Amino acid sequence: MAKAQRRDQVIQRKSRQTKAKVVRAAQKVARPVRRVQVTLGDLIAAAFDTVGDEVKKVAKVVSSPNMTLATGKNIVVVG
């Protein structure tokens, strides 16, 4: 029975360490990010570099929900 208790203690320690790592990772995510000023032209140029020369795909990338989250603005492509 003493061996079983020791195993339980080791498992408890590992779970505490894992929880601590998860908490630290969450804190890193919650830290404020350094703000960088980027123009709309820079975003469009980066999208062209990433996707290629297809305008429809660039418009899809620039107006995607992920881009909205990253920039804090909803970009709508007309035309």
Question: Same structural domain for residues 65 and 46?
Answer: yes
Looking at the structure, do residues 27 and 51 belong to the same domain, yes or no? no
Return the percentage of the chain with pLDDT > 90, whole number.
Answer: 39
Q: What is the mean pLDDT of residues 4-23?
A: 56
pLDDT in tens, 21-57: 666 766 666 667 677 888 999 999 999 999 998 999 9
Count of the separate structural domains present in the chain: 2
Q: Report CA 23 to chain centroid distance, whole Å.
A: 16
Tell me if 57 is assigned to some domain: yes
The mean per-residue pLDDT over the stretch 9-28 comes to: 59
Nearest to 78 by CA among 68, 63, 65, 66: 63
**Residue 50, domain member (yes or no):** yes
Instruction: Give me the domain span that covers residue 62.
Output: 40-71
Residue 11 lies in a domain: yes
Task: Specify if 79 maps to a domain.
Answer: no
What was the pLDDT predicted at 35? Answer: 78
| Average of per-residue pLDDT across 47-71 | 92
Same domain for 26 and 45? no
- Tell me if the pTM is above 0.75: no
Residue 78 lies in a domain: no
User: Any idea which residue has 């990338």 for tokens?
Assistant: 61
